[in-house]
Amino acid sequence: MGNFPLNTADQFTTPLEACCSANSGAPSVVTAGAGLDALEVTGQTIDRKASSGTALAHSIDLATAWLAALTDTKSLSFTINLQESADDSTWDTAEAVQAVTVEQLATATTNYRGTNRQRIDLMDRKRYIRFNVTPTLSNTATDTASFHTIAHLGGWNQTPQ
């Protein structure tokens, strides 16, 4: 998936893609019982305002791509929360956006991959938003996963000048 920094795309004619993961360029790697397992990853700040003018994006298409190696009857789950701010420094309490669970039903370790997408209405949201992701593996030590969350902004409320 691409990683385009904010304010580099023509926000009126193409969707803006912003990486939500704190490490931007690479997927976050999770090992069961260690590191990021069950630990919230705070997303990068996304400015809904167009690079020129006063237009704000009205919607966002949020996508989390993942790859997991799961053992028998174990699972990977993601909790995704949205936070918003008027000034990019004071953040409101996080609101649950999405919870996703991937379960292993086979009898051996199996690799799974997929993408979860959700479209979110931003009409009544503040200028700055971020998505915080909590990956959780139900096993210990042997299961692993990697994930990357991106957001596509669209639907500005003003035409190009």
Distance CA 139, CA 156 (A): 43
Burial class from Cβ neighbours inside 10 Å (0-12, 13-18, 19+) for residue 2 reads exposed
Q: Does the model's pTM come out above 0.95?
A: no
Give the pLDDT band of residue 158 (cuts 50, 70, 90).
Answer: low
Percentage of the chain lying above the pLDDT 90 cut: 19
pLDDT tens, residue by residue, 77-136: 888 999 999 999 999 999 998 777 776 666 677 888 888 888 899 999 999 999 998 999
pLDDT at 1 over 50: no
Phi, psi of 29 (to 5 degrees): -110, 135
What residue ranges do the domains of the chain occupy? 16-154
pLDDT number for residue 26: 57
CATH 2.60.120.1310 fits 16-154, yes or no: yes
Question: What's the gap between Cα 140 and its chain centre?
Answer: 24
Q: What average pLDDT score do residues 14-21 get? A: 45
3-state secondary structure the chain: CCCCCCCCCCCCCCCEEEECCCCCCCCEEEECCECCCCCCECCCCEECECCCCCCECCEEEEEEEEEEEECCCCEEEEEEEEEEECCCCCCCCCEEEEEEEEECCCCCCEEEEEEEEEEEECCCCCCEEEEEEEEEECCCCCCEEEEEEEEEEECCCCCCC
Give the pLDDT band of residue 70 (cuts 50, 70, 90).
Answer: confident
Which of 61, 1, 60 has its CA nearest to residue 28? 1
